[in-house]
Structure 1
């Protein structure tokens, strides 16, 4: 995750807002013969941003407009992408239909807000575009039989940096955004993807999912249980966002896998594990060392340690098994958040991806026919 810069941050616009602006411009050109430039739209909360056009092209029965996405100061992979709307007159009575152009994905798995086979243009952006089409159709007294094709050049390559392939969205990016506004470093897109991952897992019949803090722990838990893509959640630091959604949308079993330092934070009650938003309490960790049988010298070393990794190494050198205790405490913290909706397992890995501790109430393996004994 990119580091948040100091000072005030500039907001940006979602792909959905950009697609809506391009759609309005193209539709207005089809009806009036002229492109508005800049083009102004009204967002769901009443904001009225204006967008400069990059493309403004017309032909027999069609028009095309595009804008460049400005995500503000958010580290959005789609920042700077060109969002293109190509509109064509549809068959009478067909109404407004949506189509995926180059770089926009198509849905191949159930559990997402749209049916399998649909272009990955989310419901709220569709609603925004329909609003613009309807408004201008009323003004010009014409029917709303329109085909809207959204394209994002390079979107298929950009999508490899997102969760789309894992969610079963193939061929490109999704057109997203519920408010039209990108709040810098809000991490809303990440948490949204965790939620959609849970939806897909449930819809595809998965009874065991896993959330990992990073690539090393993800590889470890995936290999240990031989899990498919749709069972892996890109949890990152947002264990709270994952657990709270699972509480309302449960699966039978969840494995939470990560390094020692991250899971110490969970054990101490933190639900956001990012270093800028939670810190290890070394005095409290020293109490855990004492509980595990560590002597006074090891407890003092824990209080003055620079990192949790250092504490783990000191405990391992002293034959004090702190990892198992941290796994148990983290499990208790997660269970309190889940409120009994899902059986949880904690898996701690070292930096090489070796599993050094596992804990779950009861024998978690008895629930998992795919576990490698």
Structure 2
């Protein structure tokens, strides 16, 4: 077993992200991250992760911590007020107190949900995140942003609630479907565009190797992406300014997800969102044509979409973007690049530029939705 430890936050809010292989071969690795005094733990998981959840629960029981397993729906259907309410009811029925904890085991939707339930139960209990998808490892499980969806948009109800630890065992990725792995790489590439150009170089050098879940190149990409997020989160825990750069490509991406009824993978929608905002940056004098082309080339090399061929109209997408968390009043706000690795904000772009950017990602569209 080899492990890299990446620290996030400072002071009482500090915690470690463990990245390596074979980490969950010893399921007590999760129990050891729990704060002293925990007597009960709720293990939130989707059905496909039931066996792993049981192993983690058994390890907790062996350490004298009572484990309650709670299965939830897979994918975005887990992130609803109804599912959260069911977990709150379970916590109440099982007598969970403020010194008990939650463990989230699964993809980004499950870690978002588990974190939100932990943040809101008794105004906050400890949570350990065990992400089992690449997307969750490099994005959702790290940084303490938790939330659920509503009919009006994605992650509109949520809370900032840092975990007490995150365990990223890369071995679980070997069974991940290739399309899901590629979707996770979209968030990795995002970190390359906004902060670490070496990520882009590693992907461009050998895209197939970058997408090999058993390879060392992917491990380096994961570690680099987590470090980017850790540095940004440590500097801006509550997304008051700098942390918004991690939303690169997400304004249009989240709109696609909502309009498509969450049938698109998050990373696929963000991939198109990055091309959309790159086109917007070019039209507003921030980014060169060559840099826009690089967006398309890197994402295409990983099998990710760079155009929107869905059923939503521009009007529906524009309305959804208006509900984005970065919006202030009626003014849309986008994270754009002033050249690679130099993120900045663009506030209130002209409607003509928005429509032209949409036309650029729509005109190129391949047939059908992503895989």
Which TM-score band applies after superposition, normalised by the shorter structure?
under 0.3
Higher-helix-fraction structure: 2
TM-score by length of 1: 0.28
TM-score by length of 2: 0.28
Bigger Rg, which one: 1
